[in-house]
Structure 1
Amino acid sequence: MSEPVPVLTFDGPSGSGKGTIASRVARTLGWHLLDSGALYRLVALGAARRGMDMADEGALADYAAQMAVDFEILPDSGEVVARLDGEPVGNAIRTEQVGNDASKVAALETVRAALLQRQRDFRQPPGLVADGRDMGTTVFPDAGLKIYLTASAEVRAERRYKQLKEKGISASLAGLLREITERDVRDTERQSSPLKPAADAIVLDTSALDIDQVVEQVLAWCRDRFAVGGQ
């Protein structure tokens, strides 16, 4: 019987660095990448573009089950490109409005159920790096290595503010802090797959660490757990 495809999961709150670190690690290892947060953002964006009611749980679940999405890690820059119906929508899904809508959509149990198997289908050889909020607890409970990234709300708001400014998107630091705090409450208190570390996850606070330091530590854990390369 063949061994299951190895999985590394990253969970944690918004702004903890999951997306950047997951893509860097996936690129280094040569593994596939699942950005589950982007899936919910894609649902929110696609639904908004279609004029759907964000409270219509059934319609949102139906759309989540059939929407055409894919992700690609660009070989030169390492940037992750998300496509909706074949169209790159990277900047469109990173707005605060879409982020807030996605957080609300992600609290709907039928939407989460519709996306569950789609997420598991990303598990392909040689391995998968899965980034989200319930990757280690619900989607891939058998993952070989589970990491829960966190940081203070203030640090996360500052990171988000810098990201948006670099992309030319106006933002208020105070507003971002408020939205991140509110999103934390929604994510941790929702009934379906609430945000929390898996019982066997390694919790890593990134407040005082830069990206290179976190990636280096994660790759060291991967070499120990999966016997893979990646310097």
Structure 2
Amino acid sequence: MNNSTRKIIIAIDGFSSCGKSTMAKDLARAIGYIYIDSGAMYRAVTLYCIKNGLFTNGEINIPELELRIKDIHISFKLDEKTNLPQTYLNGENVEEEIRTMEVSSKVSRVSAIDFVREALVNQQQEMGKEKGIVMDGRDIGTTVFPESELKIFVTASPEIRALRRYDEMVAKGMEVKFEEILKNVKDRDYQDQNREVSPLKRAADAILLDNSLLTVDEQKDWLLQQFEKATQTSN
């Protein structure tokens, strides 16, 4: 799909439950780029902590992790069969291991550590030097890759996003109340926009995508159009 001789960085930011990760993965696959899964990076650090005995009774040995963080290297490679990105921790494919419940139950504690975040942002920026990447999050276009050639800021009404999450959870057999999910979405929006470190905000040069009423195919076509425009102007 990508006929451009010069690869670019694509930063996709936006509110929770807008489907950013899905659209970022789909776009990367369509254009032959690497999708950087920031969540997987924090999971990989968590797996490292588990494997190296840095958890004791659920608590992290923070001083020891700070000493070791420089030795934790995460990378992504495309699986030749599936064309999906695989997560590597110090050269070892850990894509399946980082998705376990043990990692899931501990990752939030690891991702809250400031020096871990700083180290991973540095690694993400290093990956960006080769271009040809798509990354989604809350502050990719403002903090991680402010120089990215294509920035998308995704939004949708809180009601639409809550309904999507509600439908998803009901489909998994979970008993949930729409009103509670809607409150959670609105609370999350407030927290994301008002947090001290890298608050969620639209970069001045980011293109707004309100996907409240878009189908998946319409959204994909729109993203590909933006990519074509960006690569044409980047050459």
**TM-score, normalization by structure 1:** 0.74
Letter in 1 for 2:38: S
Matched position secondary structure for 2:127: coil
Question: Could you tell me the percent identity over the aligned residues?
Answer: 33
Matched position secondary structure for 1:137: helix
**Residues 112/61 of structure 1: CA separation in 2 closer, same or farther (3 Å cut):** farther
Count of matched residue pairs: 220
Matched position secondary structure for 1:122: helix
Unaligned runs of 5+ in 2: none
Q: Deviations over 1:28-62 (max 9, x none)?
A: 110111122333455567668835537x8766666
Task: Tell me what 1:13 maps to.
Answer: 15
Aligned 1:85-164 pairs, distance under 5 A: 86-87=93-94, 88-89=96-97, 91-92=99-100, 102=108, 108-123=113-128, 125=130, 127-164=132-169
Q: 2:40 aligns with which of 35, 38, 41?
A: 38
Does 2:216 align with 1:211?
yes
Mapped partners of 1:64, 1:183: distance in 2: 29
Kept in 1: contact 2:43–2:104 (CA 8 A):
no
Does 2:179 align with 1:172?
no
Mapped partners of 1:207, 1:86: distance in 2: 36
Q: 1:202 aligns with which of 207, 214, 220?
A: 207
Mapped partners of 2:182, 2:38: distance in 1: 22
Q: Deviations over 1:124-180 (max 9, x none)?
A: 6561111111110011111111000112233223323444555x4736244544443
**TM-score, normalization by structure 2:** 0.73
Kept in 2: contact 1:11–1:131 (CA 8 A):
yes
Q: Deviations over 1:188-211 (max 9, x none)?
A: 212111111111101111111122
**Could you tell me how far 1:122 is from its partner in structure 2?**
2.3
Mapped partners of 2:79, 2:169: distance in 1: 21
Kept in 2: contact 1:144–1:225 (CA 8 A):
yes
Unaligned runs of 5+ in 1: none
Matched position secondary structure for 1:197: coil
Does 2:24 align with 1:22?
yes
Mapped partners of 1:34, 1:92: distance in 2: 19
Mapped partners of 1:213, 1:150: distance in 2: 15
- Which entry has the higher C-alpha Rg, 1 or 2? 2
Letter in 2 for 1:14: S
Kept in 2: contact 1:11–1:136 (CA 8 A):
yes
Does 2:59 align with 1:53?
yes
